[in-house]
Structure formats: C-alpha cells, structure tokens
Amino acid sequence: MGENGAERVVVITGASSGIGAALANLLASSGHLVALVARRRDALEAVAAGCGGRAHVIVADVSRRDDVTRAVDETIARFGRIDVWVNNAGVGITRMPSQLTDEDVDTMMRANVMSALYGMQETLPHFRSRGRGHVINVSSMLGRIPFATFRSAYCGAKHFLNALTATFRAELAETDPGIVVSLVSPGVVRTDFGLNAVHGGPDSHQLPGSQSAEEVAGVIADVIAEPRPDVYTRPDGRERVVGYYASLGANPE
C-alpha cells in the first residue's frame, strides 16, 4: 500500500453497478488503477469505459473460490500487484424469517459471506509476500441493527461478515501487522439493491434516509487513503447502533 496520494491497484468486486461502479469511477479519476470484478461483462465494460483507461475487466462469480483465485492472479498479471481488495459484492433478500428456506440461507451466505471470505483468503499469500495490503469488507447497517425483518437472512449474513472481519483482523494483527482489514457499513443506498433482492422487494431509490452510491464510494475511498478498522457511511451511524442496543437494555460495546 503506497503513501497517501500514491497510485494504488484496487480490486473491486460487485463493480458492475451501484457502489462498486461509483467507487471505480472515483478511484480511477483520482489516479488509481482498478480491477473490476463481476459476472456481467457488458456492464463491467460500460463502467470501465468511464475509467479513462485505468480499469481492467474480470468476469467472475465471486461466490466461487476458483473464480476469486483467478481474479487475484489476473490482476497481478495485469498490474503487477494488488494494494487493496474491496469485497463489495452482495445480494439482499425479501422474506420474513419464519418463511426462510434452506436455499434462501445458502444463497445469502454464498453471496455475502463466502465471497468475502474467498477474497480475504485468496489475497493473503500475495499480501504476505509484500508485507502489506488492505482488505475492505462492505457490510451494512443491517449487520449491526437487524431492524428490517423482511431482510432476515441478509441481516444474519452481514452479522456473520462483521464477526468474520473482526476475527480475521485480530488474527492478522498478531501474524501480519502490515495487512489492514477494514469494515464499512452503509445504510440505505440509492441503487438497484432492493429491486435485485431475492424474491424482489422495495426499490431502494424510494426509501427514506438514503445515500447516493457516490457518497458511499467517497467514504470507501477515504478509508483507502486513511485506513481505519470500522467505519459507518452515515455520520449518525454509531449513535444509531448504540441507541438500538440501549433500547434493548444491552451495551453493544
């Protein structure tokens, strides 16, 4: 990872739209190199076209370990290194917890947890060889506050991701202190997340209190420039979490 302002090579999963696409455009315009990873080639190429020749497209399904390994290898072959890996890919669900099926839970875990685990594990040998690196896992406020009942297994998957991030960070602090692990928690973002959720769902563009994908991308870019372990994209994020658990008579800290 270079000094502030230095060119970085950043891999972004889920880069074909939403937060991932906005982050790619922002980083490329700031002089960084980006590897764009997602399943839809046409959408990835459209994002890359706006990155001024600083993007490389990798068509892959990050819920498959072999595809993630290939994305790591292809990025290194193209750019010579990886400085930052952003686990941004994810999928929502619209189903009450009493109605969840095995397939619903498996889908949420593959898309939101295993994809990130593969990213963390498959970049680790490269980061260790360099003695430095940065993983950023994009979670959700629902990974802190499970208030959207109809998101059920998505809330559970993001809680799992948060715990996995924290334990991975603790392990590396002992073995590889040059490798940083960050967690970023957005709230509602004006993307197609809701429309693309398993079983459909409300349009995130229409929900109150939302942020733009560009706002969230700006927070992630700031975490890349100045790494921190745990960041909310809303300024009141921490207070909302503390307030939620206080209302239950619990202390989240």
- What is the three-class DSSP state of 117? helix
Task: Please report, to the nearest 10 degrees, the dihedral formed by the alpha carbons of residues 103, 104, 106, 112 taken in order.
Answer: 150
Q: Which of 154, 232, 244, 245 is catalytic?
A: 154
154 assigned to active site: yes
DSSP string across 53-106: T-EEEEE--TTSHHHHHHHHHHHHHHHS--SEEEE-----B---GGG--HHHHH
Give the sign of the dihedral formed by CA 187, CA 185, CA 84, CA 160.
Answer: negative
Strand partners, 28: none
Catalytic residues: 154
